Structure 1
Amino acid sequence: MISNRAQNLQPSETLKITGKAKELKRQGKSVVSLSAGEPDFKTPRHICDAAIKAINDGFHGYTMNTGTPELREAIVAKLKRDNGLDYDPSQIICSNGAKQSVGFGLLAIVNKGDEVIIPAPFWVSYPEMVRLAEGESVLVRTSFENDFKFTPQQLEDSITDKTKAIILCSPSNPTGACYSKEELEGLANVLRNHPEIYILSDEIYEYIVFDGDHVSILNVAPDLKDRVLLVNGFSKGFAMTGWRLGYLAASNEVVSAVSKIQSQETSAPSSISQKAAEAAYNGSLDEVKAMRDQFKKRRDFMVNSLNAIEGVSCFSPGGAFYVFPDISHYLNSEKPDGNKIASSTELCMYLLEEFGLALVPGDAFGEPNGLRMSYAASMNDLEDAMERFKKGLGSLG
């Protein structure tokens, strides 16, 4: 008999859509997919060379459960250099991807029945990770008019005597929204009045910020450091998705708890990936900046194209590689067969099956009036996708 824990979890909607698109491609159908959250660039050469050297040097064994001392020292140096944050290597634990850091972090702090506040739209895995930790997600819907950013008043109104943590993601998956210094200060002011609440700050997209520098909640509220679980990694900024390497920076108490969980579940991440990550943080960021500049051009194209379509609205996101347009105008519209589009999920399935365009419905992220488009694709694919999208919406009555 399968456990209740496994039965209660929902599969990732992004992986579901991506899998459906790949299946249609295998059947010989023309499909353009903007569903995956994966850079379409190659990992920079110097990072690959470091991994090859590690292999040739015989660096094949297990490492310390928390990661090699050299990598944790490189992470500490990076956090100081790029973020102005002071950590000790003992406050860093490396993992098999930032997703694992989030999941194990929640397992370390959440007890059965604890509440975790999650602003919506949210990354699809957050509520399921809370469920796995036997906590309760408190989903708070934000607004398109506010670029889908959580306000201090919404935070205050969501806090109860069961609140254990809040999850913040900036730049955001799925919206690309970035919190400003002033917006984070507002949230920090509320959290100062609730010293029992942890803050899980997911900053995996920090190198993909288009206007100004990335701002962490710790930059505006260093006094909250002992309560912040800072999650980051190498997948997005360095195009290292398949290398599976992330990390958590937190208090010694939290890192010790996460380390115990990790030691029993997975142990340390790949030794080869850790050597590659060292090179990423110790080397030049020129290619990272070049990728960011390309993403910015694509963002501008997507935003302009979407806002030129009747009934579609899209704000210009400050980071990541997603746009999250409002498509509420097309909900309850009729398909050519007379059936109505009742949800963003039905709209995305219609666009995939009839027009070969793979997108992720806003329903998956807790926002029924939107959908997520990833522009981690070539300009040719993006232009093709916008034509298919316009044609698909135009077919609705």
Structure 2
Amino acid sequence: MHDDEFRRAVRAWLAENVSDELRGAGGPGREHEAYRERLAFDRRLAAAGWTCLGWPVEHGGRGATLAQQVAFHEEYARAGGPARVGYLGEELLGPTLIAYGTPAQRRRFLPRIRAVEELWCQGYSEPGAGSDLAAVATRARLVGDEWVIDGQKVWTSLAHVADWCFLLARTHSPGTRPRQAGLSYLLVPMRQPGVTVRPIRQLTGTSEFNEVFFAGARTSRDMVVGEVGQGWRVAMGTLTFERGAATLGQQVGFQRELDALVSLARHRGVAGEPQVRDTLTRAFIGLWALRAHTLHTMTEVDGQGPGQGASTVKLLWSRWHQRLGELAMQVRGASGAVARDAPYDLDEWQRLFLFSRADTIYGGSDEIQRGIIAERVLGLPRQARG
């Protein structure tokens, strides 16, 4: 199918299937909205062949070109498609299993991910290992034919609805080797004794992030992706897949937010104020510069996905979006500081401002992204780490 024909087909399907009740539902700070309805919508997408577009055909995907994947995410955002429930499985774990998994793992998990029959969460960050991921302390020891896992993960998105978790655990003592050595990438069922999920209440009042405690949780011996002790390489591969074509759809969503904010500024009569006008103009230019850089970065392939330029994209969009939240509060004026209803009913601009505080932290903090750019792009000396 030609790329233009593909885009028209996506647009037509979405126009017919995205209901008014689902339009714009979910997303950062709003994952509690219409969860069951969004899950059902994800499964309709799967039945119609609109999930796992970029996966190779032999692994159950559509084998879509990069241009087609971008077209889907852009049209999805323009149609106001609801936030995807199966995102972590489809966009992160699926490509990881295709690149690093065994044939048995692919047969077991890929069809269920594609059909949105099993949901996943990501177990990377810990209380003492957030941006410094190599400091992971969760341990897994082999007992017979099972790995027994003990430790704690934090900021685990959607763990409260996930069936499985892909996590990093230390299976060997690092000794004098680099701290990255001895980590393994495990697939662990969430619905078992020894797994406890505790929601974390956020500034927005919602709780899509969680703490997850593993106390003797178990998974079978063959649930290691890649080699035992070589999980760092697999985990970095997953992070690369995270910054794929969906980023362009995210930016379409950003454009809609900016357009709505311009309309609000005009309605409130502040669009002509020099500072507001200047900031809105800079936001418009910044968003188009971000799009151009993202498209350029996506063509720089290192064999598995976008190269180190993905770190620059993360820096650019996180700061841009955070500044947009700040501008929204400026446009709202004093009324932006007051919840619209008790006890804590936030409007869209208040939620944007509060949740975007985390944009520069999750998915790789700004400090870590700058370190990657300095070392791997600019060739500067490696930063000393404890």
* Greater relative contact order (Cα < 8 A, sep 6+): 1
TM-score (norm: length of structure 2): 0.25
TM-score (norm: length of structure 1): 0.25
